[in-house]
Amino acid sequence: QRSTREWQQADAEHFLHPFTDFAGLAKKGSRIITKADNIYLWDSDGHKILDAMSGLWCVNVGYGQASLVDAATRQMKELPFYNAFFQTSTPPAIELAELLSKVTPPQFKHVFFTGSGSEGNDTVVRMVRRYWDILGQPERQVIISRHNGYHGSTMAGASLGGMSGMHAQGGLPIPNITHIDQPYWWENGAGMSRDEFGKVAASWLEERILSIGPEKVAAFIGEPVQGAGGVIVPPATYWPEIQRICDKYGILLVSDEVICGFGRTGQWFGCETMGTKPDLMTFAKGVTSGYIPLGGVMVGERMAKVLIEQGGEFNHGFTYSGHPVACAVALANIRLIQQQKLVEHVHDDVGPYLAQQFASLNDHPLVGETQTCGLMGAVLLVKDKAKHQAFPSDLEVGMVCRGHCFGNGLIMRAVGDRMIIAPPLVITRAQIDEMMVLIRRCLDLTLADAQK
């Protein structure tokens, strides 16, 4: 067994980490995570950490679930791999496709499997364009998405996403992708109620459609709740208005459910919480609770009919589309969510409890606003809440707070000055209490630093 120092050294010498300043990490050294159970992690020095981020928004059923491990082992012994190209299929992929058609909203009867959320969103771009081609409207090329949205790291995924730092590297976005502003009331809603602002933010979509020309617009894509952007929960008026605008111009609506899917928002999918009826839905992460990579696109009736009946061959797919082991794990994961009634647990119990607990943070001098949706939450750190004033960005107050979280056995993520959480759906009220004690402690420590 190597020491932490030895792990860190080998890590820095050979492993280029995602979304990481390589040289900076080499200087500081990684935190080495060695084991996990339920909602807790342990590092190589034996410290116990409450994982309020479910890994990377994915470990919905929590760590250490034996039924997922057994499903993978059984499937690996039986048939570790076979592809789904060339008119072949495998029982786990077929069964998963069937089960997904049951747990997703009724318009979805078909699925296209991928290996990740990014590949799912690449598939969306090709599928949407293919759909309009088949219908004889190839000029419908433009996909509208949002600033600060996140849709993955492939060329198309990063282009759909609205992260300026990603666009700056690699000459993105690719052509025919355009972004409107996000529905972030704290930043953009001055002088408006949240509900008024929700309608205004949705009207930006209609303005953009009209400026491009509706006959050129193929689709709108968005996360029901922007996750990596900082858990931006939109006003209740936003999504119904987006749906109305898409319907008015016949534009396809795509819901990126990579984070919001599989119970995170207190319903099976975020679009159900937001009241929309998307034509396509991307998923990944929670489909296997991150135990093994798998993603995909649910294809609604409107598109499936055209693609199947008039499309001929769709020249697209991945070696691991419908990977039997990944599908077997997904089946075990979804069955566990059903058996343990985890969606109901979030909707009726821990979701409302988290909302109440987060609201109570508003009495803290550092907290400008709190938001939750199911088991996602954000705490905005501000310099002066009465004056609606943010901290200077060079203070990096979010990173300071994140450092205190690490030091106190809590994983929370910092997105600018928004501290965010998305704990495993199995979390209990008592564990939320334990998390809140840590969050308050870290806010106090951050406040003390900010006042220095």
162, two tokens? 């609205």
Residues 215-234 that bind ligand PLP (CB under 6 A): 223, 227-228
Residue 294 · residue 327 · CB < 8 Å = yes
Residue 282 or 370: the one with the smaller Cβ distance to ligand PLP is 282
CB of 219 to ligand PLP, least distance (A): 15
CB closer to ligand PLP, 415 vs 443: 415
Q: Closest separation between CB of residue 265 and ligand PLP, Å?
A: 13
* The amino acid at 215: E
For 96, the token pair is 């998963």
Residue 183 binds ligand PLP, judged by CB under 6 A: no
Measure Cα distances from 29 to 4, 11, 21 in Å: 9, 8, 12
Q: Pick the closer one to ligand PLP by CB: 263 or 368.
A: 263
Joined together, the tokens standing for residue 319 give 């070696």
Provide the mask over 320-339, with x wherever binding to ligand PLP is found by CB under 6 A and - wherever it is not.
--------------------
Do 109 and 185 contact (CB within 8 A), yes or no? no
Instruction: Give least dist CB 299 to ligand PLP, A.
Output: 17
Choose between 8 and 282: whose C-beta lies nearer to ligand PLP. 282
DSSP state of 41: E
Report yes or no: 281 and 303 within 8 Å, Cβ to Cβ. no
Among 116, 123, 265, 357, contact with ligand PLP (rule: CB under 6 A): 116
At residue 49, what is the residue type?
I
Q: Which residue is nearest to ligand PLP (CB)?
A: 117
CB 311 to ligand PLP: min, Å: 25
- Candidates 35-43, 115-123, 130-138, 396-404; binding stretch for ligand PLP (CB under 6 A): 115-123
- For the bound state, the minimum distance from the C-beta of residue 439 to ligand PLP, rounded and expressed in Å, comes to 22
* Site membership for ligand PLP, residue 377 (CB under 6 A): no
Tell me, what amino acid is at 366?
A: L
368: left (phi over 0), alpha (psi -120 to 50) or beta: alpha
Query: Would you say 376 or 400 has its CB closer to ligand PLP?
Result: 376
Determine the interface stretch with ligand PLP among 75-83, 110-118, 184-192, 337-345 (rule: CB under 6 A): 110-118
Burial class (CB in 10 A: 0-12, 13-18, 19+), 127: buried
Strands (E) located in 275-428 = 280-283, 295-300, 367-373, 376-381, 410-411, 413-415, 418-421
What's the min distance (Å) between Cβ of 115 and ligand PLP? 8
> What's the CA dihedral at 388, 393, 397, 403 to 10 degrees?
160
Between the alpha carbon of residue 53 and those of residues 239, 420, 421, 442, the distances in Å are: 25, 8, 5, 16
Is the CB of 62 or the CB of 261 nearer to ligand PLP? 261
Antiparallel, parallel or unpaired: β 108-114 and 295-300: antiparallel
Q: Which is nearer to ligand PLP, 151 or 404 (CB)?
A: 151
- Return the residues of window 231-290 that contact ligand PLP according to CB under 6 A: 256, 258-259, 284
Q: Which residue in 117, 278, 351, 424 binds ligand PLP (CB under 6 A)?
A: 117
Beta-carbon neighbour count of residue 216 at 10 Å? 14
Contact, 204 vs 181, CB < 8 A?
yes
The helix (run of H) or strand (run of E) holding residue 143 is strand 142-146
**Mask: binding to ligand PLP, 140-159, rule CB under 6 A, as x and -?**
----------xxx-------
Q: Toward ligand PLP, which CB reaches closer, 117 or 423? A: 117
Q: Which is nearer to ligand PLP, 201 or 284 (CB)?
A: 284
Near ligand PLP in 344-363, by CB under 6 A: none
Distance CA 1, CA 6 (A): 10
Which of 223, 149, 234 is closest to 198 using CA atoms?
234
Min separation Cβ 290 and ligand PLP, Å: 9
Q: Check residue 118 for interaction with ligand PLP (CB under 6 A).
A: yes
CB 152 within 8 A of CB 160: yes
Shortest distance in whole angstroms from residue 407 CB to ligand PLP: 25
What is each CA distance from 2 to 5, 14, 34, 59, 190, in whole angstroms?
8, 16, 11, 27, 54
Token pair recorded at residue 450: 């900010």
Q: Of 283, 419, 324, 340, which is closest to residue 62 (Cα–Cα)?
A: 340
| Footprint on this chain of ligand PLP (rule: CB under 6 A) | 116-118, 121, 150-152, 223, 227-228, 256, 258-259, 284, 295
